[in-house]
Amino acid sequence: MPTLPLPHEFPSRYGVPVLRAVDTEIFQRRYFTHCLQCTFCNDWCCQFGVDVDRHHAERILSHADALEAYTGIPRDRWFTGEREADPDSPGGETWRTSVTDGACVFLNRQGRGCLLHAFCLEQGIDHHDLKSIVDGLFPLTFEDGVLCPALEAHDDELVCLGTGPTLYRGIREEIGYYFGAELVAVLDAMETGAR
């Protein structure tokens, strides 16, 4: 699929990443979208853990006492300890969540979905405050200034591909949150041209 330039740079609300182009594959590929209504994937996408930018990792740790009480998981088990420098991530680096029993440490094993998200809902916290930008945009991501499908979607590994809205439509609201209404308007116009 072709990559189209954006009319100007669009920095995220954190300053980085900065988007300069879009992979038009986001307007073509489809996925189930409504994760908690899914009856077939068993939270497949949570099996790898997730990269958490330092900004959000620090926000998670700022709620450590309450999160430990809520999840029953000690804070020293939340992250692998590996940190990778990444100038395109808020805070300049990423931390990886631990994988426990074949899934992200924050996967709700007594139900469905993410314990961080559930904690935020219960505490009246905007989930964007604790969940990383990579997590919020999935199954889209950013790479070298390009908004594009995450590797799992691009490589046809994502279990829920093939039905439902496009990758773009499924994440449109999140794109607006992170990058603003102007980018959404630009992408809406590109989407119309990509049909």
Express each pLDDT in 4-48 by its tens digit.
Answer: 999 999 999 999 999 999 999 999 998 776 655 445 556 655 678
Contacts of 32 (CB under 8 A, 6+ apart): 38, 41, 160, 163, 164
User: pLDDT digits over 47-104, tens only?
Assistant: 788 999 999 999 999 999 999 999 999 999 999 999 999 999 999 999 999 999 999 9
155 against 140, higher pLDDT: 140
- Which domain covers residue 50, as residue numbers? 3-194
pTM of the model: 0.91
Query: Total domain count for the chain?
Result: 1
Q: What pLDDT was estimated at residue 159?
A: 65
Q: Which residue reads 């099996």 in tokens?
A: 47
Q: What pLDDT was estimated at residue 191?
A: 94
Q: What pLDDT was estimated at residue 161?
A: 67
Contacts of 142 (CB under 8 A, 6+ apart): 17, 19, 88, 148
Report the SS3 class of residue 163.
Answer: strand
User: pLDDT digits over 102-141, tens only?
Assistant: 999 999 888 778 999 999 999 999 999 999 999 999 899 9
Helix (H) or strand (E) holding 155: none
Q: Which long-range contacts (CB under 8 A, 24 or more apart) does 157-161 make?
A: 158/31, 158/44, 158/45, 159/40, 159/41, 159/44, 159/45, 160/31, 160/32, 160/33, 160/38, 160/40, 160/41, 160/44, 161/29, 161/30, 161/31
